[in-house]
């Protein structure tokens, strides 16, 4: 009876661990596929638009969506790894129960029967004797770390493109305002002494009718409307 209960729990943990692995692979594959498609589409749009305003707008729309998928993938990968660790601990304890029922079968077990840190490493096929540096390398090489690094690159790209977009907008507004001010100062400045002036009256600037003042007022109103 005890053996049947332990076997049922063992197979349940195996199935649960398999589901966790399948979810991890499918999530990571979906994120990488989305990221690859976004990079290809950005390259095509950039080549067609000359990496201009349309490219920045498209990038600011598509990259946050990819970042959202990456963050969701990273969260679920962490949960799947925790789930796998629990399954491994449970299966190790069940092996210990098997050995209590049949101690003479210990030499046939490849995986560990202990739920401590080294026992978990043996069951997860991590070579022993590597030390903390080896475990750190294994964590850095894991799928959650790779996804986190790609998410960080996406955040940097979004911030850089947004900063360039804001800088171009501010530069365009400043250039337009300075151009308008220069036109107003040139059109409304009085003639210098000793300079040659045309004897033909300019339309709208007839002497003695206040045309110059009216023209300057019109240009000033246009400049104010542009600044608003």
97 by Cβ neighbours in 10 Å (0-12 / 13-18 / 19+) ranks as middle
The domain total for the chain is 1
206 assigned to some structural domain: no
157 assigned to some structural domain: yes
Query: Does the pTM exceed 0.75?
Result: no
Q: Which residues of the chain have pLDDT under 70?
A: 129-131, 172-228
CB neighbours of residue 77 within 10 Å: 24
pLDDT score at 176: 56
146 assigned to some structural domain: yes
210 assigned to some structural domain: no
Contact, 195 vs 160, CB < 8 A? Answer: no
93 assigned to some structural domain: yes
pLDDT score at 206: 47
Q: How far apart are CA 66 and CA 33, in angstroms?
A: 10
128 assigned to some structural domain: yes
Domain carrying residue 54: 2-165
Contact, 180 vs 223, CB < 8 A? Answer: yes
133 assigned to some structural domain: yes
194 assigned to some structural domain: no
- Residue 113's contacts (CB-CB under 8 Å, 6 or more residues apart) are 92, 93, 95, 96, 98, 99, 106, 119
Contact, 27 vs 19, CB < 8 A? Answer: no
């Amino acid at each position: 009876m005890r053996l049947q209960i332990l076997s049922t729990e063992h197979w349940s943990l195996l199935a649960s661990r398999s589901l966790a692995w399948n979810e991890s692979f499918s999530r990571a594959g979906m994120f990488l596929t989305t990221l690859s498609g976004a990079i290809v589409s950005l390259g095509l749009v950039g080549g067609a638009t000359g990496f201009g305003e349309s490219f920045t707008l498209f990038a600011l729309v598509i990259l946050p969506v990819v970042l959202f998928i990456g963050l969701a993938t990273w969260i679920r990968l962490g949960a799947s790894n925790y789930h796998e660790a629990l399954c491994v601990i449970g299966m190790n304890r069940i092996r210990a129960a098997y050995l209590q029922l049949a101690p003479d079968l210990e030499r046939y077990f490849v995986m560990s029967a202990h739920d401590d840190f080294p026992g978990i490493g043996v069951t997860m096929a991590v070579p022993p004797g590597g030390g903390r540096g080896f475990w750190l390398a294994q964590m850095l090489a894991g799928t959650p770390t790779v996804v986190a690094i790609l998410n960080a690159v996406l955040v940097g790209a979004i911030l850089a493109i947004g900063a360039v977009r804001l800088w171009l907008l501010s530069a365009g507004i400043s250039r337009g305002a300075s151009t308008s001010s220069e036109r107003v100062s040139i059109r409304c400045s009085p003639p210098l002494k000793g300079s040659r002036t045309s004897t033909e009256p300019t339309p709208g600037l007839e002497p003695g009718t206040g045309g110059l003042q009216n023209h300057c007022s019109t240009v000033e109103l246009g400049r104010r409307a542009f600044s608003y």
